[in-house]
Amino acid sequence: MIFVTGGAGFIGSNFVLDWLAQSDEPVLNLDKLTYAGNLKNLVSLEGDARHLFVRGDIGDKELVLELLGRHKPRAILNFAAESHVDRSILGPGEFIQTNINGTFGLLEAARAYRSELPESAKNAFRFLHVSTDEVYGTLGPNDPPFSETTAYAPNSPYSASKAASDHLVRAYHHTYGMPVLTTNCSNNYGPYQFPEKLIPLVISNALAGQPLPVYGDGQQVRDWLYVSDHCAAIRRVLEAGKPGETYNVGGWNEMANLDVVHTLCGILDREAPRAGGSYRELVTFVADRPGHDRRYAIDARKLERELGWRPAETFETGILKTVRWYLGNQEWVRDVQSGAYQDWIAQNYRDRE
C-alpha cells in the first residue's frame, strides 16, 4: 500500500486516479478537505476496495501514526499543501501551518513509523515530497531555467512556506537517514483544478460571460505541465529515484499568461462559440498582485537523463483536453463554486479594477 496525503486536491486526486488505473496496489488517502479538497474528484472510486479515504490533518501526529501502524504503507507521498499565492498574500497563517508545521508533523510520524520496521522494509520505505518551482524565485527573460542546484529565493508567503518544507525534508534525510525524494514542478493544469487558478478561472468566467482578469500586462511567463504528465513523473521518481535527490518536473512549455488566455479563448471560440463575438473581448487587465514573479522556467533534463521521463503532452494537446474536460463537467464546476468560493473571488479582485 502507498499512503497519499492531500489526495482529494487537484494534483493529489489526479495521482490517485492515475495510480489505480494502472496498478492494483491500494492507496490510503488522507485529506483535510479544505476548500480545494473535493471528494467528488474521486467519485469513480466509490466502492473500490483499493481506495481507503480518511479525513484528517497531516499535522495530527497521533492520527498519522495510527494509520501508518495499521496499514503499513511502503511509501508516503505528500501532496498536502496550501498552494495559491494570492491566498497566501491575504492570509499567510494557514500556509505556515499546513506547509511547514504539517510537513514537520508528517516527517516526525514517518520517522517514528520507519524506526519500527524490519530492516528490509525500512530500506525500501520512501517519503516523496511534492513541491514547486516557485521556491527558486523569479527569472529574467534571458536567464537559464531553474535546475536542481538553483539557489532558493522564494518571494511569496506560499513559496517561502514550501521552501521551508523542502528544507525540512532535506534535513530529515541528512540527519535521520530518512529516504526522501523531492519533486519541484512547474504550473500544473488539467481536470479537477479548483477555479481560482488561471486556466480554470478563465474557462469558467468565459462560459459565464464574465470578465477574464489578467494581472498587470499579462507577460508573466510560466512553464505549463499537464497534470497527468506530472503524475507519471512522480510514479517514476517513486519507482527509481535516488533517496536524498531532488528532481525538477516541467512541461517544456514556457508561455506568457496573456498568451495562455488568448489560446483558451481561441479554443472556446471553436468548441463553445459565444453569441456576439469572440471570448477575447472579455479580457480585462487588472492591477498586478504584490511581488508577482516575472518568469519561471524548469530544466527537467535530470529527470529525463537519470530516470527516462519526458512529458507526453504538448501544451496544445494538453490544453485542448483540459478545455473539453471542463465543458463536459459543468456540474462539477457549479458544485465547487460555492458561496465561500464566490466570497474569495470577490475579495481577491475587489480592488483590482
Average pLDDT across the chain, whole number: 95
What's the CATH number where 117 sits? 3.40.50.720
Helix, strand, or coil here: 185? strand
76 domain-assigned: yes
Helix, strand, or coil here: 68? helix
Helical residues (DSSP H) of the chain, grouped into ranges:
10-22, 61-71, 85-90, 93-95, 103-115, 119-124, 157-176, 198-207, 227-240, 257-271, 301-307, 315-328, 330-336, 339-349
For the whole model, what pTM was predicted?
0.94
pLDDT at residue 335 in the model: 86
325 domain-assigned: no
Half-sphere exposure of 348 (CA within 13 A, CB side): 21
pLDDT (tens digit per residue) in 20-35: 999 999 999 999 988 8
CA–centroid distance for 277 within its chain: 34
- pLDDT of 115 > 60? The answer is yes
pLDDT at residue 104 in the model: 97
262 domain-assigned: no
343 domain-assigned: no
257 domain-assigned: no
pLDDT (tens digit per residue) in 230-245: 999 999 999 999 999 9
Confidence of residue 148 (pLDDT cuts 50, 70, 90): very high
286 domain-assigned: no
> The domain containing residue 7 runs over which residues?
2-188+225-251+292-314
pLDDT at residue 342 in the model: 61
160 domain-assigned: yes
CA distances from 66 to 70, 111, 113, 209 (A): 6, 13, 9, 49
Lowest mean pLDDT among 70-74, 275-279, 310-314: 275-279
Q: Which residues are catalytic?
A: 133-134, 158
**What percentage of the chain exceeds 90 in pLDDT?**
90
pLDDT (tens digit per residue) in 185-208: 999 999 999 988 999 999 999 999
The total number of structural domains in the chain stands at 1
**CA end-to-end span of the chain:** 50
280 domain-assigned: no
Between CA 75 and CA 125 the distance in angstroms is 5
